[in-house]
Amino acid sequence: MTDYDSAKIAALHRELHSHLPSDPALRVKVLESLLVDKGMIDRKTIDSWVEVYAEEIGPKRGAHVVAKAWTDPAFKERLMADAPSAIEELGYLGVATGHLNVVENTDDVHNLVVCTLCSCYPFSVLGIAPNWYKTAAYRSRAVRDPRGVLDEFGVELADDVEVRVWDSTAELRYLVLPQRPAGTDDMGEADLAKLVSRNSMIGTDRDLAKYINGAD
């Protein structure tokens, strides 16, 4: 695995979150406001592009990782044992995935990822974090009432399914390996990747069979 100074990263993390948004972020916000005020761009257009990158373009790397794990047992074994090294094989290792841990959904276990401190997120494989992931409501309720949160996302779990909540930090981030849907034995890696939603890799989506027709 690549060199990783957890103490240095933790200190940087605390420093970043002790200040207002960075100067570049403030300048971008001001520029956006000026363009909107002058009628040169629609704020809804900006929001739409952010949503596309957050939900479609960004998570394609993570979907590739999941699909490869579904089809390549040796890769899955390496992924579960040392996720950073495994994803580095695909060229996806980034700053936010230096200490990535992959947790697997099974018939008896469902995993849910949250960052109660702020919004730590493996963006090199999942793209931009969704807005709801950063809200105080999700960050607190995911720990207090994970089943209630999952229910609001449409995830129905039997009472005997254990829910495990994983709290991301600057030193450790998580990726959920969802279950491969039944009836996909004849599908190749590329088509399988189309079934993997961003939310399923966070844990707020579970039954991926509903996406099968859309992958055709």
Instruction: Write down the catalytic residue from 6, 33, 115, 140.
Output: 115
Instruction: Write down the catalytic residue from 6, 22, 33, 120.
Output: 120
The strand ranges marked E within the chain are 100-104, 109-114, 162-167, 173-177
* CB 115, CB 142: distance < 8 Å: no
Annotated catalytic residue 118: yes
- Whole-angstrom Cα distance, residue 200 to residue 84? 19
Instruction: Write down the catalytic residue from 22, 85, 119, 140.
Output: 119
Annotated catalytic residue 6: no
Annotated catalytic residue 120: yes
Enclosing H/E stretch for 113: strand 109-114
Annotated catalytic residue 48: no
- Whole-angstrom Cα distance, residue 70 to residue 177? 9
* CB 207, CB 183: distance < 8 Å: no
Enclosing H/E stretch for 87: helix 83-88
Three-class DSSP category at 5:
coil
As annotated, the active-site residues are: 115, 118-120
